[in-house]
Amino acid sequence: MPRSAAGTLVFLAAATLSVVPAVHSLTDYANDFLSPTDILNNNYNNTHLAQQTILQWASDSAAGAPWTVTKKPFPPPSGDDHDYMSFAPYRWPDCSNVQNTTALTAEQIWEQCNYTTIDGKLNADNRIVDNIGDFESLTDAVLYNSLAWHLSGDDTYSTRVTQWIQAWFLSNDTAMNPNLNYAQMSGGPSGQVGTHTGILDLKGMAKIVSGVLLLRQENASTWTSDVDAGLTAWAGEYIQWLTTADIALQEKAATNNHGSFYYTQLASVQILLGDTAGAQSTIEEYFGGIYLGQIAANGDQPLETARTRPYHYRAYNLAAMITNAKIGEYVGVYAWNKTTNEGATIKTALDYAMTVAPGSSETAYAAELYPNIAAVAAKYGDPDGKYAAFLANAEGKAYVEDANFYWNQPFSDSGFDVAGATASSSGTATSSAASGKSTVGTNQENFALSIGFVPWRAWGMLYGGCAVVMVTSFAEFL
């Protein structure tokens, strides 16, 4: 741990119990981009249940707000709490170089031991600082509450979004500096600095931009001009960093999901800034660049299949490709039928992924593919009904209750949606999404909160009983 953490760790156990809210359940999709025009023109009568879910998740997602980058038990190496900070999830200390004769303290391990990557093995110390989790919570809350405002007309939702954006990006006391210099840090004697994989931490900017665009286009009274101007200014500074910093450019050069999500993030922020031409160029560069080598002729994604969780990573990169195609369509670049070097499309990749069941160690990730299926069906069509049949068989009624069913249209509801159902404007409608779609304290990988030498499983059970839990695993951040 950084030196400034030494006097802090002992107090974290009691603090954790005192600040976490009650349990709520919602789905944190890997990523998505929603065109405000499509939302405004959404007149599909088979999305009533999905609308109810959106309203419920909007309320559930507010637990724990406001989120701020300054909320961490110790500062990054810069000493500035306004700098975003996270730890690389698969980095582990190898202290064979230290040649110590006595047990090392946590601080000595962090500063003196070499760190190495063990793919798929999650380091439990990863979430001692949880800027990454807080930002992910923010992205979901902004998306769901913006949609809830659109559906209900209740300014409670749009007011929340405005306040949360102010807290994370704009407030003098809590605003995030527009850089990721200390994202996914790794320890070791060579210094504690961020790594290029940390750029992935802010991939959810696509969700935030989706929510803001909706408030802008519908002229939400609570989305004020000063907040919009402030966020636009922040976006301009962040783009400057994202397109010039060494670690950002290293991430751009990644040929797997990391590179895919880099382009997602950059194009999203360019749209926020009003730089349509820049977003077009970014999407064209992605589909004319690394995308060409990402899908084999049979639809496999070799770079993702090679990972320790191939089912998860295929679904993960599919989410990035789909999001990039949605962004492209929004700015006038149609990439849905773009073929890779081996003649495959996004649809080819999805069709292949559907044929490969998750292994015994990946059953918890099965549902990650489902939103991709709905998105592909909505865009390419489902003339033989295979996509609807797959989801109906896997989830039953739950697939039409998922929030994404609202915006991934047109798509068959398989007769599950109740005709005449109406979305409640109170935000208290009940969602009955399948248990496979949301996990509440059941997957301990979601709660890596080990502190010092406290057994991480004990912390997982302790925290999992009283926290807001999104469907996301540390694997989604690397």
Each residue's pLDDT tens digit, 289-327: 999 999 999 999 999 999 999 999 999 999 999 999 999
Query: Using CA atoms, how far apart are residues 58 and 438, in angstroms rounded to an integer?
Result: 15
For the chain, state the CA radius of gyration.
22
Section 399-417 average pLDDT = 97
What's the whole-model pTM score? 0.83
CATH of domain 22-477: 1.50.10.100
pLDDT of residue 275: 98
Backbone φ, ψ for residue 85 (5° rounding): -145, 140
pLDDT of residue 428: 36
Query: Using CA atoms, how far apart are residues 440 and 24, in angstroms rounded to an integer?
Result: 7
Which of the pair, 42 or 349, is modelled with greater confidence? Answer: 349
Residue 164 · residue 138 · CB < 8 Å? yes
Q: Which residues pair with 186 in a beta bridge?
A: 193
First-to-last C-alpha distance (Å) of the chain: 21
Query: Using CA atoms, how far apart are residues 222 and 201, in angstroms rounded to an integer?
Result: 28
Sorted by sequence, the CB contacts under 8 Å of residue 131 that are 6+ apart come out as 69, 71, 72, 84, 85, 86, 201
Max Cα-Cα span within the chain: 73
How many Cβ atoms are within 10 Å of 90's Cβ, its own excluded?
22
Identity of the amino acid at 68:
T
The 3-state secondary structure of 286-315, one letter per residue = HHCCHHHHCCCCCCCCHHHHCCCCHHHHHH
Query: Using CA atoms, how far apart are residues 289 and 304, in angstroms rounded to an integer?
Result: 17
Name the percent of the chain lying above pLDDT 90: 71
Triad 440, 446, 450: Cα angle to 5° = 120
Q: Where are the domains of the chain?
A: 22-477
